[in-house]
Structure 1
Amino acid sequence: MAAEVVRRGRVYRLLASVLPAVALAALVPAVATVASSDPGAALPDPAVVTPAPDGSRIAAVASGPGREVDVSVYSTAMAAVEVVKVLPAADGATAAPALYLLNGANGGLGDSSWTEKTDIATYFADQQVNVVVPMGGRGSYFADWRADDPVLGHQRWTTFLTRELPPLIDAAFHGSGAAAVAGISMAGTSVFQLALAAPGRYRGVGSYSGCAPTSDLTGQLFVDAVVARWAGNAANMWGPPGDPQWAAVDPYVHAEDLRGLALYVSAGTGVPGPLDTLAGPGIDGDPIKLVDQDVSGGFIEAIAGTCARRLQQRFADLGIPATFDLHPDGTHSWGYWQQELHNSWPLFRAALGE
């Protein structure tokens, strides 16, 4: 079913590029609703979810594994259909806040996503919160890029995630309007930037193994490396090195504007830890996977750990309350991120009023 949603997303992306919005809207009802595999779960009907004034709308809804709902959202800013995975709140008849979980630098491609690599489906099964996992955005920093990239294309993720998507999700899943956002790796930077771009949108921000500074030399080199990994050019995102936009979106520089949010930051040091064993999550007894996690994951986490400690000092200097969970070991890997989500959820749940 998920593959069908992705296929439809590609069709809508093509249609959006050649058809006017009115013509595309006329096609939506014909493919909008797919029956749920769970007879006890009613899928939201796209036809009754009012499109945004700019034309953004829910294009299709399909049931996924278990409680998962695959929502295809047409984004006017992106001129494309983006797939979002939703785990509805335990009580669908009662208003619920939303927890947005952002994937890392690969945008959740393959099986490297919150829904595939962690236990969120069971962990949140009895929680009154809509868990929302946007798919896509590899190498994008979930930013609004200043220019289209020859490889990564037209990126307007900040607009999509802060203005277009939340009202549609709340309308479709009985949302209360309260929200928190958390992300791993690349998205561990983006979550702060999204909060800065849309004051009041989120009550809580969680950064797991991220690197907040973007405008100093180290930060720029790190961002360049992440974007280049996917053959993109970061100059199309925030301009050439030294451009004022790099500082304008830097959470370290604008840390004061994060005051008042429920803030959670975690990272390791890159030294192999308790989950970096042949029996660890995702290793499956494969020594090659373990070596890659220890070497590549260790190197990246060492940088993330340094960034996290710099941010901790920055918050301390400004007197900004925040929770930091900084470990003496641990690599850049999903087992640790699942643990940190569990550890941070009580903080976000309280901030969301649950």
Structure 2
Amino acid sequence: MPFVPRLPRVSRRHRIRSRWGARLLTVGVGALAIPAASAVATPEIVLAAPISGPVHRTPAGGFEELMVPSSMGPVKVQVQWAKNGGGAALYLLDGLRARDDQNAWVINTNAMQQFENDDVTLVMPVGGQSSWYADWVSPSNTNGQKFTYRWETFLTKELPDFLAGYGVSRTDNAVAGLSMSGPAALRLAAFYPKQFKHASSFSGPLNLTAPGMPEAMRVMMLSAGQFNRDSLAPPWSPTWLRMDPFVFAPQLRGVPMYISAATGLPGEYDRPNSAGAVVDTFDAMWIESLAMVGTRALQARLSSLNIPAVYDFPVAGTHSWKYWEGELWKARPYILSALNT
């Protein structure tokens, strides 16, 4: 793989807090994913007050935070504007434990450095913990949520409409997701092909109707914000089936895709040096191996439909950010090609 700058590691306490354990998965799961943190130095941020009009506060290639109106209330979106002011954009979606202050692609990877010399705007929404980036049927009644998640509407209508005022195309976009957002990235490209010209999924649970997955998702979502899975969608309902790449696979015909998952065997970024680190690494191994199962299942499904995709199945690698950083670098040429940049 071409050289990708390595960034500093964070404390073990932060990593452990950011990762859910394999013991949640003993209910019997298909492939599922939750990002493990490996935070890096945060770039200098230009804080922006809510913006009511298309006014660039930073030059082309600069980093900015916007507050975007939505049916969920204002949503923070972090952007790195295209190097030369072009209209193409790459949406980078977060994982199950998405934070409310920053998108993890900003703080846990060198994604911005990877695209800093490309004429592509990086669009990194903040928030959406346990949302699966879907439109929910109701607010979660297990954590006092005051509004209904409407993330699909936000990503496909409200956000592109807002960014259009800044010269970002509504149609020349790509989308990438890891873990929880892997199936979301594929779903957005499948159902909104006029908006998204490429989709990447890294270590995503790509067979949500597999035996055990609805039950596993309930446990996952309760552990990440006390969200009620049934407020997302009743299992086996049309809304639930619409979220599953294995089910909507025929809709992916004609969509350029990059899909990856590793075996879960420890790799170059796994160097546990304490008992806690060993447990942490084991969790990441177990989760990634399950992601591999679901990803292979979708590969077989797409193959049966004669739908091509670019796949990467590293022989080593666990469920953590440094590996997703590397997968984004591998997907980058395919993303740029699809966007004609």
Range into which the TM-score falls when normalised by the shorter chain: 0.7 to 0.9
Residue 293 (structure 1) shift: 3.8
> 1:96 is matched with which residue?
87
> 2:303 is matched with which residue?
316
Distance in 2 of aligned mates of 1:166 and 1:154: 20
> Judging changes above 3 Å, is the alpha-carbon distance between structure 1 residues 107 and 147 closer, same or farther for their aligned structure 2 residues?
same
Distance in 1 of aligned mates of 2:138 and 2:49: 35
> 1:336 is matched with which residue?
323
Q: Which runs of 5+ in 2 are unaligned?
A: 1-43
Aligned match for 1:124, one of 115, 120, 123:
115
Residues 92-171 of structure 1 mapped to structure 2, 5 A cutoff: 92=85, 95-109=86-100, 113-150=104-141, 151=143, 152=145, 153-171=147-165
Count of matched residue pairs: 292
**Structure 2 residue 238 is the aligned partner of structure 1 residue 244:** yes
Q: What is the percentage of aligned positions where both structures have the same residue?
A: 32
Do the aligned partners of 1:68 and 1:87 also contact (CA within 8 Å) in 2?
Answer: yes
Residue 68 (structure 1) shift: 1.7
Do the aligned partners of 1:130 and 1:173 also contact (CA within 8 Å) in 2?
Answer: no
Residue 188 (structure 1) shift: 0.8
Do the aligned partners of 1:139 and 1:232 also contact (CA within 8 Å) in 2?
Answer: yes
> 1:349 is matched with which residue?
336
SS at match of 2:194: coil
> Judging changes above 3 Å, is the alpha-carbon distance between structure 1 residues 314 and 339 closer, same or farther for their aligned structure 2 residues?
same
Q: Which runs of 5+ in 1 are unaligned?
A: 1-36, 50-59, 279-285
Distance in 2 of aligned mates of 1:314 and 1:211: 14
TM-score (norm 1): 0.76
Do the aligned partners of 2:183 and 2:204 also contact (CA within 8 Å) in 1?
Answer: yes
Do the aligned partners of 1:46 and 1:172 also contact (CA within 8 Å) in 2?
Answer: no
Distance in 2 of aligned mates of 1:146 and 1:344: 33
Q: CA RMSD in A?
A: 2.7
Distance in 2 of aligned mates of 1:171 and 1:227: 35
Larger radius of gyration: 1
Distance in 1 of aligned mates of 2:286 and 2:100: 22
Residue 155 (structure 1) shift: 0.5
Q: Deviations over 1:115-143 (max 9, x none)?
A: 01111222211100000110100001011
* Structure 1 stretches of 4+ moved >4 Å: 60-63, 109-112
Distance in 2 of aligned mates of 1:233 and 1:166: 29
Distance in 1 of aligned mates of 2:276 and 2:195: 39
> 2:313 is matched with which residue?
326
Aligned match for 1:304, one of 275, 288, 291:
291
Residue 215 (structure 1) shift: 2.1
Q: Deviations over 1:170-219 (max 9, x none)?
A: 32144373000001110012112222342322010000010111223233
For 1:119, the aligned partner's letter is N
For 1:275, the aligned partner's letter is Y
For 1:138, the aligned partner's letter is Q
> 1:233 is matched with which residue?
228
> Judging changes above 3 Å, is the alpha-carbon distance between structure 1 residues 109 and 328 closer, same or farther for their aligned structure 2 residues?
farther
TM-score (norm 2): 0.78
| Greater strand content | 1
| Structure showing greater relative contact order (alpha-carbon pairs closer than 8 Å, 6 or more residues apart) | 2
> Judging changes above 3 Å, is the alpha-carbon distance between structure 1 residues 47 and 82 closer, same or farther for their aligned structure 2 residues?
closer
For 2:323, the aligned partner's letter is Y
> 2:38 is matched with which residue?
none
| Greater helix content | 1
Do the aligned partners of 1:205 and 1:263 also contact (CA within 8 Å) in 2?
Answer: yes
Residues 1-354 of structure 1 mapped to structure 2, 5 A cutoff: 46-49=51-54, 67-75=62-70, 77-78=71-72, 80-92=73-85, 95-109=86-100, 113-150=104-141, 151=143, 152=145, 153-175=147-169, 177-230=171-224, 231-239=226-234, 241-277=235-271, 287=274, 290-354=277-341
